[in-house]
Chains A and B, each alone.
Chain A
Amino acid sequence: MKRPLVFAALVLLSTSAFAANRPEDFPLRVQIVARAERTHVHNGSFDFSHGTGQANLFENSEPSGFDFSYSTCPQPMNIAGPSETMNARWKKKGEELTVLMPVLGKADKYQTCDLKVLPRQSVYVRSHGNLRTIPPAQMKAWMQRHDFDPEHGKNTLKNLKNRDGADE
């Protein structure tokens, strides 16, 4: 008798957990530039991932780099180009960020992952496959040149001379 009730409660809880995660509540944007990850499997399916990495935060249209680690993430963390940033918000300003991860195969469903962060004075970029850093001012100039401001919906790079421009 109790089992169906517990199951129903769990279903309701998980549904409300999904429903609570709305992109509009996560105004910042995070781009994962590099990561080293371990994934865990349970019953033959993905269970959780943990790892470390380097990323950029876009806050108030300003870019800044940070190192991060995460211990239990409900999805693998994807390295992404500038066109593919994740919504995020501070859990603890300057220490912990919560990123929003779309649930694949489900419309408008999201999960979250908490990243412990270590802010850097520079911004991370990938150049021909290698990770390097540049000053935030240089990144800001690049953003202006390409009309790139993911916090405000400008995710597509403009004024590209060629494809490599996306990796500048």
Chain B
Amino acid sequence: MNKSISSFAALFLLAIPSALFAAERSQDYPLRVSILGKHGRSNSNTMCPYSVGADAWGSGYGNLLQGDEPRGFRFAYTCSSKLPKTNRNVTYAARWKKPELQLTLLIPVEGKKDKFWTCDLDIRLKKFVFDKENTTLSVPEMKRRMHKQTEAANSVSQTSEIPGDKQ
């Protein structure tokens, strides 16, 4: 009995720091990043003896949202895994490693809740925002779109609240 209590306590103690770690990490990454286009290569299937520790590299373009300020950027990386492209309306949490030059992305491990891996991107910020298929938008135009989307989302949520109010 005592044994099971102590092993339970040990598990509990182990669980607290890891849970905190996950929560703390996501809070420490206040920026949002979308990866819109990329190309790269993974070495995981090669027999190259030098590929250990640097399994994937790539480059591409994406957008960064810092507060309510959107900016486009070009990036290059060498990471332990291939950087997955973000789907529409999905972003990665990120933080500056070197302001305006290097970003650390927090990438969820597929199929595992609250598990992340990180990847550092070398970047060059742009004065515009990337849109689909390598086209660009001005920052004010992007802000206007974001504002419009927020308004549309708010009106949908208000509309959906009406039936609830009547009940």
Contacts and interface: CB of A to CB of B under 8 A. Distances in A.
Do chains A and B interact in one complex?
yes
Contact of A44 (B54, B59, B122, B137): B54
Interface stretch (B5-13, B23-31, B43-51, B156-164): B43-51
A2 interface: no
A156 to B, nearest CB: 6
B131 A163 contact: yes
Given A79-B134, A106-B101, A167-B135, A44 B57 contact: yes
A30 to B, nearest CB: 16
Given A106-B101, A167-B135, A44 B39 contact: no
A138 interface: no
Give the interface centre of B61, B74, B100 by most chain A CB atoms within 10 Å. B74
Nearest to B100: A107
B55 A105 contact: no
Interface in B114-130: 121-124, 126-128
Contacts of B67: none
B133 A129 contact: yes
Interface string A130-168: 000000000000000000000000011100000100110
Interface in A27-66: 39, 41-46
A41 B41 contact: yes
B57 A156 contact: no
A104 B51 contact: no
B76 A104 contact: yes
B53 interface: yes
A156 B138 contact: yes
Nearest to B132: A163
B105 to A, nearest CB: 14
21 contacts: A39-B41, A41-B57, A42-B50, A43-B50, A44-B54, A45-B54, A46-B57, A46-B59, A76-B39, A78-B74, A80-B134, A83-B126, A102-B124, A104-B122, A104-B124, A105-B101, A105-B121, A107-B100, A155-B127, A163-B137, A163-B141
Top 4 closest pairs, chain A to chain B, by CB: A105-B122, A44-B54, A104-B122, A44-B51
Interface of A: 39, 41-46, 75-76, 78-81, 83-84, 102-107, 129, 155-157, 163, 166-167
